[in-house]
């Protein structure tokens, strides 16, 4: 199995997309990168670990926060979904994962189910 890392932030309908990824996939670990609002209001966590970020921070601070929270927690197959969120958040997540030396598969939810893109 794989670990799921998903951005859970802004974008119409994107929480539903992330919820279905969690529900339909078989994940060893789930990490949701979100803000305080997302942590308090997202219900389908399936024992996910929240990495709370402040989108008003600089991109360097975001990268450091994400890196610190994921360090030594990831191994094996990593599935990444960035359907939700902003470009700044996406850049910070990608940079943090690359700096940690983590390889990723980009995944999405389609009518046929979860697919790698």
Q: Do residues 92 and 61 lie in contact, with contact meaning Cβ atoms separated by under 8 Å?
A: no
The SS3 assignment for 115 reads strand
The reply to whether 84 falls in a domain is yes
Q: Is the pLDDT of residue 8 over 90?
A: yes
Is residue 31 included in any domain, yes or no? yes
Q: Read off the pTM.
A: 0.94
Domain count, the chain: 1
pLDDT above 70 as % of the chain: 100
Whether 11 is covered by a domain: the verdict is no
Radius of gyration of the chain (CA): 13
In a domain, 12, yes or no: no
Residue (of 81, 23, 19, 88) closest to 53 by Cα position? 88
At 62-78, the pLDDT tens digits run: 999 999 999 999 988 99
Residue 89 belongs to some domain of the structure: yes
Residue 88 in any domain: the answer is yes
Strands of 9-111, DSSP E: 27-34, 49-52, 78-81, 105-110
Q: Is residue 55 part of a domain?
A: yes
pLDDT digits (tens, 9 = 90+) for 90-103: 999 999 999 999 99
- 23 inside domain: yes
Structural domain range at position 61: 18-116
């Amino acid at each position: 199995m794989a670990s799921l890392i998903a951005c859970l932030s802004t974008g119409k309908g994107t929480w539903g997309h992330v919820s279905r990824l969690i529900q339909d996939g078989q994940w060893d670990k789930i990490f949701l990168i979100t803000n305080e609002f997302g942590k308090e209001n997202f219900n389908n966590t399936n024992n996910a670990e929240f990495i709370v970020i402040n989108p008003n921070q600089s991109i360097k601070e975001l990268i450091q926060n994400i890196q610190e929270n994921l360090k030594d927690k990831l191994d094996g197959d990593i599935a990444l979904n960035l359907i939700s969120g902003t470009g700044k958040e996406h850049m910070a997540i990608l940079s943090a994962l690359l700096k940690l030396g983590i390889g990723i598969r980009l995944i999405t939810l389609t009518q046929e189910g979860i697919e790698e893109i």
